[in-house]
């Protein structure tokens, strides 16, 4: 007979404001042992704030937390961990120069110094095999992909004895395959009696993987339901309300109109490069992009996309082949020269290579040009000009922030990405490489970002657009190249191919380039 369990955790009437922004308003949430509970909502809905309150990062202005039947005051992440509540943040907090084992034991409270490396590694192997989490304890964190780093973060929580595990947008940085295996792991944890809270803005994902779904909108609970009662219609109306999606059809029609395009300005010929582990990551890639053209790179993430974007931006050495912008050879040029020639990169890890999370909005705006005349005269920073430009970006691109002098790490992902675009576009680039630019963003923010890219292409900027979402690639791009295992499987005009053909190329079938 099914026994009705009581919740392991209740948040009651939680309210939290930041200045004039109300991030959470009278939010109540119950979480049961053995369940995967999804928190769904758009960027800025208040999901991260609510979980940051639960883990002691923020103090609520009002409301109460009941954990295992008792009222609790959680003043710090340490308090939360001691109770058995742990969180994997959207941006991982691992130390790259330490090994996996060292990272796991670092905050464990256990006396690491007295433990043998072998014992630490053995403990991690046991923990990871129980939940089917593939990690190598002896690897250094800097050698790991984001998916692997995320698994280390999960192992860290399990090792700390967490019974309530919170993951903030865990699938945003993963390939679809990695995401599925991550959810399998979460299911195992729930099955072993733990409670799992997953923040997400992807409806399909939560419908497939969660037991219950709570939708936040504008800081409030809009709806909550068992996943079995969730439909796309119900979730959409809870997440976005009345708002409708922008129509794309007229702009889409312009795509493929080759007359709109200028001359070939960017050419890669037979380019090869290595990955961080010194293995071949790009193998003889040749492509060209015309002024005003959006050239899509399709493919399963991890097939050389990152290396391709870094090679184009001058961040990764080319081992073979040539790379030219308007005829100028750049394969041996420095990053600075790439920037000077007008190549802008929107990297896949916007908070590592793009923005500096600890620095303020203003400081990020001037990051690469703090020595320009506009911002610095006779060694004195021109605060007024800096703030004026930052405020102008915020207004023009509708970037929501809590203050221009606050760290950008506090802004939502969509707002961070808009800031990054505002800064890069202000340099009037001739070529933009955008790697997964809408990954992790909600529908509204994603559409703004695509809008910025389309506008740039209309002004004649050449764009290399890397994405995993085929529908997006088809609607954005003039031509599509498919990467598989570091090789370009073929290049197609978007109007002359279909999903099936691109899918075949993604799985490694080489098709004659037309
Ligand atoms: N530390 C902070 N300072 C100022 N505003 C913040 C801070 N943290 C979040 N906010 C604001 O609170 C709102 C909710 O943000 P957040 O909880 O991050 O949403 P979500 O995780 O659902 O995207 C947003 O308007 C955000 O800009
Ligand atoms: Mg968030």
Task: Compute the distance between CA of residue 65 and CA of residue 414 in angstroms, rounded to an integer.
Answer: 29
Q: How far is the CA of 45 from the centre of ligand 2 (A)?
A: 8
Burial class of residue 373 (count of CB atoms within 10 Å of its CB; 0-12, 13-18, 19+) = exposed
Position with higher pLDDT, 163 vs 303: 163
Q: Of ligand 1's atoms, which has the minimum distance to the CA of residue 47? A: 22
Q: How far is the CA of 224 from the centre of ligand 2 (A)?
A: 19
117-130 vs 146-159: helix crossing angle, rounded to 10:
100
Q: Which residue has the tokens 């931006």?
A: 313
For 474-483, write each residue's pLDDT tens digit. Answer: 889 999 999 9
Report the candidate in 437, 426, 496 with the shortest Cα–Cα distance to residue 461.
426
Q: How far is the CA of 400 from the centre of ligand 1 (A)?
A: 9
Position with higher pLDDT, 433 vs 95: 433
Taking CA atoms only, the protein residue closest to ligand 1 atom 24 is 44
Q: Where along the chain do its domains lie? A: 9-240, 246-342+429-514, 358-427
pLDDT value at residue 1? 46
| 9-240 and 246-342+429-514 in the same fold | yes
Task: Compute the distance between CA of residue 268 and CA of residue 310 in angstroms, rounded to an integer.
Answer: 13
Write a three-state SS string for 122-176.
HHHHHHHHHCCCCCCCCCEHHHCCHHHHHHHHHHHHHHCCCCEEEEECHHHHCCH
Q: How far is the CA of 22 from the centre of ligand 1 (A)?
A: 9
Q: Which of 274-288, 304-318, 378-392 has the lowest mean pLDDT?
A: 378-392
Q: Is the pLDDT of residue 368 over 80?
A: no
Position with higher pLDDT, 34 vs 357: 34
Q: How far is the CA of 299 from the centre of ligand 2 (A)?
A: 27
Q: Which residues, in sequence order, are CB contacts of 371 under 8 Å at separation 6+?
A: none
Q: Is the pLDDT of residue 430 over 80?
A: yes
Q: Which of 136-145, 185-194, 256-265 has the lowest mean pLDDT?
A: 256-265
Q: Is the pLDDT of residue 284 over 90?
A: yes
Find out whether 405 and 377 touch, Cβ atoms under 8 Å: no
pLDDT value at residue 220? 96
Percent with pLDDT over 70 in the chain: 92
Q: Which residues, in sequence order, are CB contacts of 274 under 8 Å at separation 6+?
A: 280, 281, 307, 317, 319
Find the mean pLDDT for residues 260-275.
Answer: 95
pLDDT value at residue 337? 94
Find out whether 168 and 89 touch, Cβ atoms under 8 Å: yes
Q: Which residue has the tokens 């992009």?
A: 289
Ligand found nearest the CA of 416: 1
Q: Is the pLDDT of residue 172 over 50?
A: yes
Average pLDDT, the chain: 88
- CA atoms 147, 148, 150, 154: torsion sign: positive
Q: Is the pLDDT of residue 115 over 80?
A: no
**Strand 294-298 versus strand 479-484 pairing type:** parallel
What's the Cα-to-Cα distance from 192 to each of 103, 130, 135, 195, rounded to whole Å? 25, 10, 20, 9
User: Residue 16: helix, strand or coil by DSSP?
Assistant: strand
For 441-470, write each residue's pLDDT tens digit. Answer: 777 888 899 999 999 999 999 999 999 777
Our answer on whether the CB atom of 49 is closer than 6 Å to any ligand 1 atom is yes
Task: Compute the distance between CA of residue 29 and CA of residue 222 in angstroms, rounded to an integer.
Answer: 12
pLDDT band for 250, please (50, 70, 90 cuts): very low
Which two structure tokens, joined as six digits, stand for 162?
A: 């967490």
Taking CA atoms only, the protein residue closest to ligand 1 atom 4 is 402
Q: Which residues, in sequence order, are CB contacts of 113 under 8 Å at separation 6+?
A: none
Position with higher pLDDT, 82 vs 302: 82
Q: Which residue has the tokens 């290399």?
A: 464
Q: Of ligand 1's atoms, which has the minimum distance to the CA of residue 24? A: 14
Ligand found nearest the CA of 17: 1
Report the candidate in 396, 404, 403 with the shortest Cα–Cα distance to residue 421.
396
Find out whether 342 and 325 touch, Cβ atoms under 8 Å: yes
pLDDT value at residue 411? 87
Q: How far is the CA of 74 from the centre of ligand 2 (A)?
A: 20
Burial class of residue 169 (count of CB atoms within 10 Å of its CB; 0-12, 13-18, 19+) = buried
Task: Compute the distance between CA of residue 71 and CA of residue 5 in angstroms, rounded to an integer.
Answer: 19
Q: Is the pLDDT of residue 373 over 90?
A: no
Taking CA atoms only, the protein residue closest to ligand 1 atom 16 is 46
Our answer on whether the CB atom of 412 is closer than 6 Å to any ligand 1 atom is yes
Taking CA atoms only, the protein residue closest to ligand 1 atom 2 is 410
Ligand found nearest the CA of 91: 2
Which two structure tokens, joined as six digits, stand for 180?
A: 């599925």
Which two structure tokens, joined as six digits, stand for 435?
A: 């790697």
DSSP letters, 46-111, are SHHHHHHHHTTSS--SEEEEEETTEEE---SHHHHHHHTEEEE-SS----TTSBHHHHHHHTSSS-
Ligand found nearest the CA of 172: 2
Give the right CATH number for 246-342+429-514 from 1.25.40.10, 1.10.3430.10, 3.30.70.660, 3.40.50.300: 3.40.50.300
H or E segment and range at residue 37 = strand 36-40
Our answer on whether the CB atom of 43 is closer than 6 Å to any ligand 1 atom is yes
Our answer on whether the CB atom of 18 is closer than 6 Å to any ligand 1 atom is yes
Our answer on whether the CB atom of 400 is closer than 6 Å to any ligand 1 atom is yes
DSSP letters, 418-460, are HHHHHHHHHT--SEEEEESTTTT--HHHHHHHHHHHHHHHHTT
Which two structure tokens, joined as six digits, stand for 368?
A: 């690469």
pLDDT value at residue 324? 97
**DSSP percent split of the chain into helix, strand, coil, nearest 5:** 40, 25, 35
Burial class of residue 129 (count of CB atoms within 10 Å of its CB; 0-12, 13-18, 19+) = exposed
Q: Which of 244-253, 316-325, 362-371, 473-482 has the lowest mean pLDDT?
A: 244-253
Q: Which of 14-23, 28-37, 174-183, 443-452 has the lowest mean pLDDT?
A: 174-183
Taking CA atoms only, the protein residue closest to ligand 1 atom 1 is 410
443-458 vs 413-426: helix crossing angle, rounded to 10:
10
First to last CA, the chain: 64
Q: Of ligand 1's atoms, which has the minimum distance to the CA of residue 413? A: 23
Which two structure tokens, joined as six digits, stand for 386?
A: 């800096």
Q: How far is the CA of 412 from the centre of ligand 1 (A)?
A: 6
Q: Of ligand 1's atoms, which has the minimum distance to the CA of residue 216? A: 22
Q: Of ligand 1's atoms, which has the minimum distance to the CA of residue 43? A: 23
Our answer on whether the CB atom of 335 is closer than 6 Å to any ligand 1 atom is no
pLDDT value at residue 367? 84
pLDDT band for 179, please (50, 70, 90 cuts): confident
pLDDT value at residue 249? 41
Taking CA atoms only, the protein residue closest to ligand 1 atom 26 is 44
CATH annotation of 9-240:
3.40.50.300
Q: What residues does 46 pair with on adjacent strands?
A: none
Task: Compute the distance between CA of residue 483 and CA of residue 173 in angstroms, rounded to an integer.
Answer: 19
pLDDT value at residue 353? 80
Task: Compute the distance between CA of residue 426 and CA of residue 278 in angstroms, rounded to an integer.
Answer: 35
Ligand found nearest the CA of 169: 2
Q: Of ligand 1's atoms, which has the minimum distance to the CA of residue 168? A: 21
Which two structure tokens, joined as six digits, stand for 342?
A: 């007008």
Our answer on whether the CB atom of 410 is closer than 6 Å to any ligand 1 atom is yes
For 221-244, write each residue's pLDDT tens digit. Answer: 999 999 999 987 788 778 766 543
């Amino acid at each position: 007979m099914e026994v009705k369990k009581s919740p392991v955790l209740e948040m009651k009437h939680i309210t939290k404001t930041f200045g004039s922004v109300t991030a959470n308003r009278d939010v109540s949430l119950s979480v049961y042992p053995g369940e995967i509970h999804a928190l769904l909502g758009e960027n800025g809905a208040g999901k991260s704030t609510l979980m940051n309150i639960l883990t002691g990062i923020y103090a609520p202005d009002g409301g109460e937390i009941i954990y295992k039947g008792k009222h609790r005051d959680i003043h710090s992440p340490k308090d939360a961990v001691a109770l058995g509540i742990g969180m994997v943040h959207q941006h991982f907090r691992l130390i790259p120069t330490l090994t996996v084992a060292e990272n796991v034991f670092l905050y464990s409270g256990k006396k690491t110094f007295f433990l043998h490396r072998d014992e630490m590694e053995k403990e991690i192997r046991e923990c990871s095999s129980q939940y089917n989490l593939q990690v190598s304890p002896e690897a250094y964190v800097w050698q790991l992909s984001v998916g692997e780093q995320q698994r280390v973060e999960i192992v860290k929580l399990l090792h700390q004895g967490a019974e309530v595990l919170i993951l903030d947008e865990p699938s945003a940085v993963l390939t679809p395959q990695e995401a599925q295996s991550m959810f399998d792991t979460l299911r195992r944890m729930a099955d072993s009696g733990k409670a799992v809270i997953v923040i997400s803005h992807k409806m399909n994902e939560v419908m497939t993987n969660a037991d219950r779904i709570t939708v936040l909108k504008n800081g409030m609970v809009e709806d909550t339901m068992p996943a079995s009662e969730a439909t796309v219609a119900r979730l959409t109306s809870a997440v976005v309300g009345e708002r409708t999606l922008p129509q794309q059809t007229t702009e889409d029609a312009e795509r493929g109109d080759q007359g709109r395009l200028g001359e070939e300005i960017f050419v890669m010929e037979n380019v090869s490069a290595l990955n961080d582990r010194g293995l071949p990551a790009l193998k003889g890639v040749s492509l060209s992009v015309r002024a005003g053209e959006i050239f899509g790179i399709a493919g399963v993430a991890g097939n050389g996309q990152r290396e391709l974007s870094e090679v184009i931006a001058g961040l990764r050495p080319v081992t073979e082949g040539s790379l030219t912008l308007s005829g100028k050879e750049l394969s041996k040029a420095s990053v600075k020269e790439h920037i000077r020639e007008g190549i802008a990169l929107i990297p896949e890890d916007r908070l590592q290579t793009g923005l500096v999370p600890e620095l303020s909005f203003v400081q990020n705006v001037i990051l690469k040009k703090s020595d320009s005349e506009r911002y610095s005269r006779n060694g004195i920073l021109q605060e007024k000009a800096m703030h004026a430009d930052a405020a102008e970006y915020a207004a023009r691109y509708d970037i929501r922030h809590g203050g221009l002098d606050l760290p950008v790490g506090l802004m939502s992902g969509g707002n961070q990405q808009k800031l990054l675009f505002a800064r890069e576009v202000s340099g009037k680039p001739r070529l933009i490489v955008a790697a997964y630019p809408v990954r992790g963003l909600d529908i509204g923010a994603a559409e703004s970002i695509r809008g910025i890219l389309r506008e740039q292409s209309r002004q004649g900027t050449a764009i290399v657009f890397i994405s995993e979402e085929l529908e997006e690639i088809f609607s954005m791009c003039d031509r599509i190249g498919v990467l598989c295992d570091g090789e370009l499987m073929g290049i197609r005009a978007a109007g002359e191919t279909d999903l099936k053909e691109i899918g075949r190329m993604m799985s490694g079938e080489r098709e004659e380039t037309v």
